[in-house]
Structure 1
Amino acid sequence: MIERRPSLNALVTPLVDALVADADWLRLEVRRLENGAQLIDAGISALGGLEAGRRISEICLGGLSRVTLSGSGPVPGWPSNVEVSAADPVLACLGSQYAGWSLAHGEGKGAFHALGSGPGRALAGKEPLFAELRYRDRSERACLILEVDKEPPLPLVDKIANECGVDPSALTLILTPTSSLTGTVQIVSRVLEVALHKTHELGFDLDRIQDGMGSAPLPPPSPDFVTAMGRTNDAILFGGQVHLFLGGRDDAIEELAERLPSSASRDYGRPFAEVFKAYDYDFFQVDPLLFSPARILLTAVESGRTFAAGRIDLDLLAASFGIAP
């Protein structure tokens, strides 16, 4: 039986409308496609920026989370940080923010590929994960975030609207290139999500996750895609911190703490761009257990004990971010 919880798409509707209303000063470009779908360019032709990224991150989290930019953090001399907290972290992160909807159109060099994230995923329900979450959204409007540097083809936009069960005119697509400031913020804001995703991959019962929050340093963007992707990953892998509050036995939570940090992966120890290159740029060859925050704290709410594992690696962060000595 599908649990009825608040509509993620309904929660983000006022956030999307406010984003459009503030598009000029947020340096975004908004237009309607031929089929009526609303397209928000947050870094392709538009400049975008940190505040645009922060607000888009909250939309990506289904309106259930608060994303803040802070001027202090655990990395000495690096004042730019992203912090994430969620009212319902499992639904916000896995039910909305996780980039789990594979989208493609065409073949060969002109093919378009993207992973969709955001609340529109919960309308389409294309992933088995939604059965585990016992959640399926219903809404007259839909929003999806695509981490791409080009506009999706119109037939694919039609397909997205159809699978979300909405008219194309009720669909909003937000485009956030990895190399943009906007994209950098929205990727690093996934620090809590990657911890929950790995927790799920390790077989821990999602129903036992009661709450959580996370933070990570905001890296400098790069015009080179591989460098930009590497830095946003490294911000989480080497500088991310997450604190989860869990139900269950202490021994199970302690075991999870030991396996959860990025340092538990066989591919840990080099900037992600180097790891990616070593696998001939085949993302699927990278150890999936690498994608997790650097430092983890797990509090067992039934006993009050907290288990910590992992560490922030300042040397690897400096190497990745290109910080001059």
Structure 2
Amino acid sequence: MPDGLRASLNNLAAQILEAEVLPQAESLGIGVIRLTNGAVVIDMGIRYPGSWSAAAYFVRVGLGGLGQLTFNTYPLNGFLIPAVQITVTNPLIAEMASHVAYWKLNHQGKNLVISGPIRSIKGSDVFARATAYRDVAATKAVACLQTTEIPGEELAELLASEIGLPVTSLYILVAKTASIVGAVQVCARNVEQTLPTLYDRGFDLAKIVQAEGHTPVVSIVDDEEVAYGHVNDCLIYGQESNIYVRCQDEELIQILNDIPFVKNRGIYGTPFQELFQRCRNDWALVPRDWDAPCQVNLINLATGNIFSTGSRHLGILTSDFLGVKE
């Protein structure tokens, strides 16, 4: 069973950081900040510039070592723009227990959204609890934050207390959206966006065998609000995920039209920056149906049939990339 993974996602992620990331911090363009209480903050895009390679590590670590990111290109209006491909092993655990950004933690009057293997230790939110996997073997913990501020000792202490581990065991990866790492790691959330949507529709995620997805990275800009809009446009208007399942075809057919973002007929075609402003720039106020994938292909290994749903909106992506309205 997929939930029967024995490995510690947090320990696997920590091993990647300690063996591959920290030793080459300078060449990756990242900063390593050791807080006075012993927690380690890895700055991949706030005070430090980060890099494409650092972004790949951010995603790999966020998946608990059960997936990886590679770079390719995406044709858009005669241009080849950067794109990412993510491949995921054991999607149920890698995504729902780790990668999904859904643990909301109030700190100093702000609602922080936390992703990464740390969510798997106690099943910190509804999506982490969608799998029976709990990282009971963790001796270290790894959290990922999309933020503009370097976390301090208070946040580290809060995280440690929530999971019942010493603060000295904690790694916190951070990047703002308006950075290479920030843009890439959000655009790499194609499968991460699709599985919770399937869960919302009542599909048994244990029937998912493998998953992979592709997303354009239309632009990287210095303005955090604009960047936030662009990367989410990439997801709701440009990504495509391939989900390999074993089930009855009818299980897919009955939910097919309720999966993609295009189901939101009243707002489809509206740039996400505008939609986010309607929600007072607070992700907690964004309706669940808006956090939906662009295009999904469900490949049923049991029957050989493929079911596709959704559509891309190249006009929005072109506007983001070239500033041209179509």
Q: TM-score, length-normalised on structure 1?
A: 0.92
Offset, 1:279: 4.0
Q: Is the 8 A contact 1:191 1:292 kept in 2?
A: no
Offset, 1:72: 4.5
State, as a whole percentage, how many aligned pairs show the same letter: 28
Q: Is the 8 A contact 2:296 2:308 kept in 1?
A: yes
Partner Cα separation in structure 2 for residue 162 and residue 245 of structure 1? 38
Q: Is the 8 A contact 2:41 2:151 kept in 1?
A: no
Aligned twin of 2:310: 310
Deviating more after overlay: 277-286 vs 139-148: 277-286
Partner Cα separation in structure 2 for residue 76 and residue 257 of structure 1? 32
Aligned twin of 1:194: 193
Amino acid at match of 1:51: S
Amino acid at match of 1:219: V
Describe the SS at the equivalent of 2:42.
Answer: strand
Q: Is the 8 A contact 1:264 1:290 kept in 2?
A: no
Q: CA RMSD in A?
A: 2.0
Of 133, 136, 148 in structure 2, the residue corresponding to residue 135 of structure 1 is 133
Q: Residues 172-187 of structure 1 correspond to what in structure 2 (within 5 A)?
A: 172-187=171-186
Q: 1:74 to 1:291 in 2, by over 3 A?
A: farther
Aligned twin of 2:214: 215
CA offsets, 1:178-202, max 9 Å, x none? Answer: 1111111111111111001111111
Amino acid at match of 1:8: L
Q: Is the 8 A contact 2:114 2:145 kept in 1?
A: yes
Describe the SS at the equivalent of 1:71.
Answer: strand
Amino acid at match of 1:10: N
Q: Residues 239-318 of structure 1 correspond to what in structure 2 (within 5 A)?
A: 239-266=238-265, 267-318=267-318
Q: 1:65 to 1:224 in 2, by over 3 A?
A: same
Are 2:150 and 1:148 aligned? no
Runs of 4+ aligned residues of structure 1 deviating over 4 Å after TM superposition are 72-76
Partner Cα separation in structure 1 for residue 161 and residue 282 of structure 2? 31
Amino acid at match of 1:236: L
Partner Cα separation in structure 2 for residue 4 and residue 219 of structure 1? 36
Of 72, 77, 80 in structure 2, the residue corresponding to residue 78 of structure 1 is 80
Amino acid at match of 1:202: R
Aligned twin of 1:64: 66
Partner Cα separation in structure 2 for residue 74 and residue 305 of structure 1? 30
Question: For structure 1, which runs of at least 5 residues remain unmatched after alignment?
Answer: none
Q: Is the 8 A contact 2:215 2:238 kept in 1?
A: yes
Describe the SS at the equivalent of 1:184.
Answer: helix
Q: TM-score, length-normalised on structure 2?
A: 0.92
Amino acid at match of 1:139: A
Deviating more after overlay: 42-51 vs 287-296: 287-296
Offset, 1:234: 0.6
Partner Cα separation in structure 1 for residue 63 and residue 76 of structure 2? 24
